[in-house]
A and B are shown apart, each in its own frame.
Chain A
Amino acid sequence: MLQLRELQKTFFAGTPNEVRALRGVSLQIEDGSFVIVIGTNGSGKSTLLNAVAGSFFVDRGAIQIAGKDVTRWPEHRRASMIGRVFQNPFSGTAPTMTVAENLALAARRGQPRGLGRLLPARIQKELRDRVASLNMQLETRMHNPIGTLSGGQRQALTLLMATWRRPDLLLLDEHTAALDPKSADQIVRLTEEIVSEHRLTTLMVTHSMQQAATLGDRIVMMNQGNVHADYAGAHRRHLRADDLVRRFDEIRREERLDASAAQLLRETYV
């Protein structure tokens, strides 16, 4: 279970560039739940994911994963509980190292790393079998540098790596946004398969209303650094992509109204 209490984060505090990215986000995600996070640019959805992953510490609030308070844990320590896939397909793999080496590194996520061999003969077969299960013909390229593969292939491997050891929490940060439509579809299908097979607690940020409407069992909509709407259960099931788009339009109209009201006040009184 993931529990977020009153998370606050301000970037560049006290400067003209101050951004209040998170303004008291509270969220509770049950075990095995697949939550989709959507929101406009700058709504704080990626910041939320990074806060959970530990890319930075929050200014206020608390983060609990599987009953442990990880608020002050550095990123690499939280990694023992979290699997991550990034938006940039190049971010999740070490390009000059081989496919097998990358996978073997991921197989020890959060474990101590000593002077044992990275690729002993006994794990080579398991690596190959798991890669073969992707049906992408990558098992013949186990000893090629992973940097020679395409973005889609690398993202599929990153997904495999993030879930190699069952994570308490899987974080997907717009992990299909940088791919061509065909690869993106493939990755979405793979995501569904892996998440449902292992019943992973998942937090996925996406820009695609289509993905939001078809994937997951709960949708969290963010706006201005806070949770704007939270659809679960029956609400979630009746939600269509069009409804989400309409909700976004409403938000935008409200914001424009705010802005023009402020303009009016300024012109009248200043």
Chain B
Amino acid sequence: MSSKMFRYMGKRLILAIVTILIIIALTFVVMHAVPSSPFNKEKALPPAIKAALEAKYGLDKPLGQQFINYLANIMRFDFGDSIYYQGNTVLSLLQTGLKTSARLGLTAAGIALLVGILLGSLAALGRDTIGDKVIQVLTTALVAVPSFVLALIMLWVFGVWWPVLPTRGDIPMGSIMPTIALALYPTAYVTRLTRSSMLDVLGQDYIRTAYAKGLDRSMVLFKHALRNALTPVITYAGPMIAYIVCGSFVVEQIFSMAGLGKYFVNSIQNSDYTMIMGTTVLLSIVMISLNFICDILYTIVDKRVDLS
């Protein structure tokens, strides 16, 4: 690993940290600017929460001091008490939700990558065959549908019209539908991405050279074509994480799964500000770190990337 690479990593790391700080500052500003927020002193609140807030954030202290306290609390993953789910700390709610959400999101991401890469490669190899055309039409259609619409349509098709799958996410087999609903869009996207980049790679000279020196087809396809075709897929990792996190908000809500998304949506609808802040900060940290990792992975995989 060159020193250039280290410099690049350092830069990305600083960017990631600054971004997280901005998000934290943004939540802080929002909480103080918004009229019905618990941080706003005129607001009537359950006395227990009001006392807890005042003690924790020192609402009588100057703003700078409050911000430093807020930062320090976040470092300890201490986001305070939930206003809507009284008697629960935000952290405990996030912890319960995170497990469900992580399982849902990771499975969906795994499906999207596996199925997408497979379908995309097949489509590229069978270019202009009927199978390729079908894949093209389907994926084009799928990327035009918002996540909650997909979830609702699946709920209707497999829950009402042809009831074969459970419509609740919190029972056995129940996670099948939400996972698929969440995975469909990224799968379609990965398929399209893999197809076009595979077509690109298959037309390169080095593939012809590989065939010419007598390598067999599977060797050429796996070692030379697919490996190089996958680099653009890694760049999609960031947007995919973002899509899956946001998609999980609505999918969990629709299939009533007790994940982060459901708590988040509920907290939005009930103006549970401590919960909104906590979830925003936590999810931002998760997303930004994952993005950072993907960035680094990409530069390791694709040596041609310009680091400057």
Q: Are chains A and B native binding partners rather than an unrelated pairing?
A: no
* Residues of A bordering B, CB below 8 Å: none
